[in-house]
Structure 1
Amino acid sequence: MPLTDKYETYIEVTGYTNMWNHSYNISSKTLKLLTAKNVSLSIDVYNMNIDEAYL
């Protein structure tokens, strides 16, 4: 029995960037593999210059 049948599974990706407008791509092949394994994906992006942006 796969672990995903018994447990909630996920992959969490955390990124740090110095720009507000930047893109990150996840291939359709990767998304299909995650879906086939019943694994969710969480993406959390932080701006390293947040203090400067509000000055």
Structure 2
Amino acid sequence: MGSLWDKSIYYSDLIILTGLQVGAFVIGVPIAIRIVAIVIAVLVESIRWVWERF
């Protein structure tokens, strides 16, 4: 009885943790992609600006 209860608690914690990781991944990836895109755009614009100056 006790071992089954411990197992169910363990699995529920595992499911919750996995869900949180998946949620963080799903939320985090688009934000990371957006940040990378912004950084690339800024770099390209600054290179173009410098190129036009010289």
Q: Does TM-score exceed 0.5, indicating one fold?
A: no
Structure number, greater radius of gyration = 2
Larger RCO (CA within 8 A; separation ≥ 6): 1
Higher helix share: 2
Higher strand share: 1
TM-score (norm 1): 0.25
